[in-house]
Amino acid sequence: MRPARDGADTVLDDIVEHPYGDGVPVWGGVTAVARDKEALGGRTRITLADGGDARVVGPMLAKPSDAFGRADAPLSNASARPGADRVLVVDPHEDARPHRSPTVRVAG
């Protein structure tokens, strides 16, 4: 959520507003993400569309310029379908910390 604290304006997209149904305490969907993000800073708009469908990506990407005059950065989690195997593995409220990958050299 560092971009939110820095005031980034975002458009959040998902296929449905509540992927696990209304009232499911596991995760509140894109609405919960928007609420948490706006509490930290910046403006947020929600679109409901299939980001995995190339026909809707163009209009979806036009939303930031329509809403805010510009887009700070495009981010996508297109076509990640909700299911029983999806569990929270990180604390979304924890600061995002860059991780350095080890350098691997292979000679052959």
What are 64-89's pLDDT values in tens digits? 777 777 766 666 665 555 566 555 55
| CB count in 10 Å sphere of residue 71 | 17
What's the alpha-carbon Rg for the chain, to the nearest Å?
16
Task: Specify the higher pLDDT residue, 3 or 101.
Answer: 3
Whether the pTM exceeds 0.95: the reply is: no
What is the DSSP code (8-state) at residue 13? E
104 pLDDT band (50/70/90 cuts)? Answer: low
Per-residue b or e along 15-42, where b marks 16 or more CB atoms closer than 10 Å to that residue's CB? beebbeeeeeeebbbbeebbeebeeeeb
